[in-house]
Amino acid sequence: MSLAGLFPIDKWNFKSQSILNNLPEDEYADLCAHMQEQRYSKGEVIFREGGVASGIYFVKKGKVKKYQVDQNGREQIIYVANTGELIGYHAILADERYPDSAATLEECVIAFIPKEDFITTLERSSVLPRRLLKTLSHEFAVLTNSISVFAQRSVKERLAITLIVLREKFKAETLPGEEIMINLSRSDLANMVGTGNENIVRFLTEFKAAGILNSQGRKIWIKDVKQLIKLSGCGNIQ
């Protein structure tokens, strides 16, 4: 089921997958001249908050969480990057250390592009700077929206929103005719919503009893996305 007209999904998703699409051949070749591809197991850290930014990362397959850790060691997941998205480029553009950490949510194939190649291509390109500016502007709007939601919405509403967004993330790699399955640990889900595991378990049980979803272990299947949109308070369903 499409969310078009029902839920403003663009307010929750970054658009970095469009940055490298159809770049001029010579620019893409320069960018990828020294690109190194690596396979990661589930749960592996790609880079850590405060680390020296030596390059950017292109998610060729899989899903990656971007997160920060508070003084008590608790994660706050900022975003989940999908196949085709870039991560780590904010630090390069700002000439700063990585402002957050990144780790795999599942087995991934990730390509590393050295900082020098990214900067050189950026300086020569007539296309890449405009795309990056557009993407950064959109990401600012997404993060502003997320901050507003955390300040104003209840845990149940935040969970509903998070499940809708995750459904779209996992839908992207679901084959036609297959049921969309969210495969995420309860702790990661809690860290996205900004609450404790016990609240996640309680509301998932409530949603399951209401026929909104099914679950088995860490796997979740949304059965009634329209009802979930109603609970989120962000959709256009009356």
Domains of the chain, start order: 10-147 (2.60.120.10), 154-232 (1.10.10.10)
Tell me what pLDDT residue 173 has: 82
Tell me what pLDDT residue 44 has: 97
What is the pLDDT of the chain when averaged over all its residues? 91
pTM, full prediction: 0.87
The region of weakest confidence among 96-100, 124-128, 148-152, 200-204 is 148-152
Strands across the sheet containing 75-81: 45-47, 101-104, 64-69, 75-81
Tell me what pLDDT residue 2 has: 64
| Top-confidence range, 12-16, 83-87, 148-152, 170-174 | 83-87
Q: What sign has the CA pseudo-torsion 196, 198, 203, 208? A: positive
Tell me what pLDDT residue 177 has: 81
Residue 234 above 60 pLDDT? yes
Tell me what pLDDT residue 236 has: 60
